[in-house]
Structures are given as structure tokens and as C-alpha cells.
Homo-oligomer: A and B are copies of this chain.
Amino acid sequence: MIGQDIIARFSALLGPKGVITDADDIAPWVNDWRERFHGSAAAILSPASTQEVSAVVKLAAELGVPLVPQGGNTSMVGGATPPADGSALILSLRRMNAIRSLSTDDNLAVCEAGVILSVLHDAAEAAGRRFPLSLGAKGSATIGGLVSTNAGGTQVLRHGTMRALVEGIEAVLPDGSIFDGLDALKKDNRGYDIKQLLIGAEGTLGVVTAAALRLVPAIAARAVGWVGVDTPADALRLLRLIEERLGDAVEGFEVIADDGLGHVLSHIPGTRSPIETRTPWHVLIEVDHADTSEPGPAARLEDALAAAFEAEIAIDAAIAANEAQADAFWRIRESLSESEKAQGPALQYDISVPVAKMPAFMVDAAAAAEATFPGHTASSFGHLGDGNVHFHVRAPKGTEDGPAWIAAEGPAINRFVHDAVVAAGGSISAEHGIGQMKRAELGRLASPARIGALRAIKAAFDPYGLFNPGKLVPLSDEA
């Protein structure tokens, strides 16, 4: 555990508001929100400016104190949880929560790392714009964390991940120097793309202190549809047909297995199936227009769905008649995880494969998992158009002790699913990152060239391993 003498040095830099040492105040921040990873820290350092972050980093480098950058602590992979031995301090960015500027001329918002996603949503909306990335944790997740994990969500098909939305970045590197790349340059060929390197680096190469983010026009009109199809391959054909007709207006395209819909209908009060036919697979589609010109999104979606019936892709379909119905369609998608929890314990994989291979993967990998682990059921849902689904393997019916089941079967199921992903040319982490949770699997499965590159970059930026230790990069002695 880091001693009081060291903490006093940081207090001298940051003042009383900048250092939290009360155990009760620290407690919510040393474990991840799903209570899977447990850490310990003698203090939370909470600088109020980029200059203070730089000073903290320089002092930490001088003292050899590891730092764990943290935003809203909403990581899915233990990416913001400090080591259990108390050897690191938490570097919280939450006090740096100013939106420094928001320009509708440039369609840019410059946000400090601690700005909460929903706060940015509101600010953009007030200005007649929107920031087109959202996720369940939007009330807690911060811009710094979203940048550092290259967050995704349900709007990636149209707008991309954070990687596509960050136009500029400010960060403090492990030597304390400030990388000032906030000017949003659409073209910049001054060598290696440091901005893209810091996006998704999970705080292991330094700490993001601010980002210039792209805004897009507000939605003037939307249509939300639900389509029943026979197979994931038909769902992909539907996507291609709709993209051909509606182009970039397709804002959401989510695929759901019928068992997932069944769980929602069973466990979430007030839900009902948007279509009458129970088909093996379902697709939720949202089409958005930034203006109110005719034909509007509903008419265009109807037209496209008529073509999908004609091509014998759609079995049944419904278009929400009003906003309340549109919200009800989306509520089914958003309740999938919660309803599954009511169904029993499950292992959840956030994986991607090339889009064209995804339909076969969804069917074949689920069948193979069920055959290999008798009594288990497997299915998937999510962002087919991104080649990214959440692939879940559920414990045999009647399993009550979830943790015991995970301890017994988890490692073998993990290996099985990840091997299938790698065989399909995919990624074992599509959205959530590596953090602590997937580091060993990354070490097992990544090519020597990839591992070598990750280690070389980490050593180059952070030779003493002081930034977010134990995350992302598989170490050579663990391989």
C-alpha cells in the first residue's frame, strides 16, 4: 500500500479537493460496477486541469507510483480497476468536466475527459445537433473513458465508433508532456497517427484529458421497423437491400434471435412482440432523416420492406405507428440482457467477425457450442451490420449457482468461443476492450507480430509500466 508520505506529495500539488483518502469515498471506485474485479487504492487523485494532470504524472514518474486513469468506472473488462495490492493510485478525471466549446459552425464539441456522455447529449441537443454515440452507461460513462476504450453502441453502422468521431485529442503522456492535438484537422500527415494510437489504448499509454468530438445534425424524422426473418443470412440480405435503397439513412440495424425475444416477453412486464408471427430471427431497423422532406423515413422504409417481401426475405414486418411504439420496439432490444439475467446465468462474449461471415458464425458457433457443452444453450444478438454480436452461452436449465458454474465451465467455454472467433478471422473484443478480463486470452491467441507490436508500443511510451498496470498488453512472463 502506498504510504502517507507519498500521498502528501500529491496533496501538496493538488490541494485538499484534489486528493481523496477517505475509505468510504474511495470504496465505490476500487471495484468494477459488475463486482467482478476487486482492487485497492490508498487515494484517488483528482486534478482539475490538464496542467495539474501533467504535474501529477511527472511526480508519479519521479516517485515510481503507478496510476490507474478512471472516468465513470463503467468498464466491462475491469479496465479501470486498480491492482488488488494497493500498489497504484487512481487518477480520476471526473473533476475535469467542462465542455470547453461547442460550435455549430464546425459541428465540434471540445469536451474535457470527465464530461459525462449524457451531459454532452443534452448540450448538443440544446444546440440543435447530436453526438451520435450512446450506450447503456451514458449517465456515468465519461468522454475520456469512451475515447480510451474506443466505445461503440447501436449507431456505429452509420456513424462509426469513437475512432471515427474523435477529431482531435489532448493527452498527458507518461513523461508528463502534454500532447496538444485538439485542433480538428481533417487531413494531417505529420507522421504516425498519435491520436488513433491513444484512442482505445485504455489509459496504458498516457491519459486523455480532452477530445474534440464530431457532432451531426439532429434527427428531424425517424421510422422504426421490426422484421421477422428466417435466418441471419436473410437478415444480412435485408441489410444490403435496405442500404441500397436508403443509403446512409440507416441508423440502426439490430438482429435478435427468437429465444432472446422470448426472454423479454416472459420477463419484462408490458412488452409485446411487434409482429404476430414468431419467426426464428428478428431485425430492428431505424431510419433517420435530418430534414422533413418527402418521402420521409417511414414511407421509404415501407417501400424497402415491400421489396424485401417481394424478394422473400421478410416473413412478417411492422413499422411503428408513432414515437411511443418506436420506443417500445427499442425497449425490447434494450431489455435483452436484463431478461436473460432473469432466465439464469450466462457467459457473454463481445466478439466480431467479418460481416459476410457473421450469418454462418451465428448459426454454426451456437450449434457447436451446444454440442460441445451439453445442456447449455447459445445464441446471439446485436450489430450484424458491424460484424459484431453479443454471443451468449447460457448455463443448463435449473443452474442456480452462477459463480460455481462459471468457475467450473467458464475457462473451457471461453476458449471454445474465442477459438471459433479466431478461426473465422475475428476479434475477441469488438467493443469492450481487453482490460484485465481478456488479457490472458489475447496473449494466447494474438499473432507474434501483433503481440510484439503491442509490447513494443507500450514499452516505448511507458518504459516503467506506470500507466494502468496489468491492463491490455499481455506481458511476456504471462504468455
- Which A residues lie at the B interface, using CB under 8 A? 103, 105-106, 149-150, 152, 156, 161, 163-164, 173, 175, 177-181, 183-194, 196-197, 199-202, 205, 217, 240, 244, 247-248, 290, 352-356, 383, 385-388, 425-434, 442, 446-450, 452-454, 456-457, 459-461, 472-473
Residues of B within 8 A of A432 (CB): 189
Minimum Cβ distance to chain B for residue A210 (Å): 14
Which residue of chain B has the shortest Cβ distance to A171 in the bound complex? B449
> What residues of chain B lie closer than 8 Å to A152, measured between beta carbons?
187
Q: Contact: A161 with B187, CB < 8 Å?
A: yes
Residues of B within 8 A of A472 (CB): 191
Q: Please give the distance in Å from A156's CB to the nearest CB on chain B.
A: 7
Contact yes or no, B449 A180, CB < 8 A:
yes
Known: A187-B152, A187-B388, A452-B175. A193 touches B192 (CB 8 A): no
> Quick one: which of B150, B180, B201, B442 contacts A447, CB cutoff 8 A?
B180
In the complex, which of the residues B183, B201, B354, B459 contacts A183, with contact meaning CB atoms closer than 8 Å?
B354
**Chain B residues with CB under 8 A of A431:** 187, 189
> Which residue from B156, B190, B460 sits with its C-beta under 8 Å from A459?
B460
Question: Which residue on B lies nearest to A433, using beta carbons?
Answer: B189
Q: Contact at A461–B450, with CB atoms within 8 Å?
A: no
Nearest B residue (CB) for A452: B177
Chain B residues positioned under 8 Å from A473 (CB to CB): 191
Interface contact B188-A352, CB-CB below 8 Å: yes
Our pick among B185, B248, B452 for the contact of A354 (Cβ within 8 Å) is B185
For residue A194, which residues in chain B have a CB less than 8 angstroms away from its CB? 450, 453-454
With A184-B354, A194-B450, A457-B460 known, 9 other A-B pairs at CB within 8 A are A156-B186, A175-B452, A177-B447, A183-B353, A185-B354, A189-B434, A191-B472, A192-B200, A248-B248
B residues near A434, Cβ cutoff 8 Å: 189-191
Contacts of A452 in B (CB 8 A): 173, 175, 177
Enumerate the 8 nearest inter-chain pairs by beta-carbon distance, A residue then B residue, closest first.
Answer: A460-B460, A183-B425, A456-B460, A177-B449, A196-B196, A187-B430, A188-B427, A179-B449
Could you list 18 examples of A-B contacts with CB < 8 Å?
A: A105-B356, A106-B354, A149-B189, A156-B186, A178-B447, A179-B449, A185-B352, A189-B434, A190-B434, A191-B442, A191-B472, A191-B473, A192-B205, A192-B453, A193-B199, A197-B197, A456-B460, A459-B460
Chain B residues contacting A164 (CB-CB under 8 Å) are 164
Picked from B173, B177, B190, B426, the residue with its CB within 8 Å of the CB of A442 is B190
How close is A165's CB to chain B, nearest CB, in angstroms? 13
Q: A185-B387, A185-B427 are in contact. Are A453 and B196 (CB under 8 A)?
A: no
Which B-chain residue is minimally distant from A383 (CB atoms)?
A: B187
Q: A238 → chain B, closest Cβ, in Å?
A: 14
- In the complex, what's the smallest C-beta–C-beta distance from A458 to chain B, in angstroms? 8
With both beta carbons as reference points, the residue of chain B lying nearest to A428 in the complex is identified as B190
Contact of A187 (CB < 8 Å), options: B247, B387, B447: B387
Nearest CB of chain B from residue A201's CB, rounded to whole Å: 6
The closest CB in chain B to the CB of A248 belongs to B248
Residues of B within 8 A of A429 (CB): 188-190
Distance, CA A179 to CA B456, complexed state (A):
14
Bound CA span A446–B194, Å: 13
Expressed in whole angstroms, the Cα–Cα distance for A217 and B450 within the complex equals: 33
- Tell which of A189, A385, A442, A453 has the most Cβ of chain B within 10 Å: A189
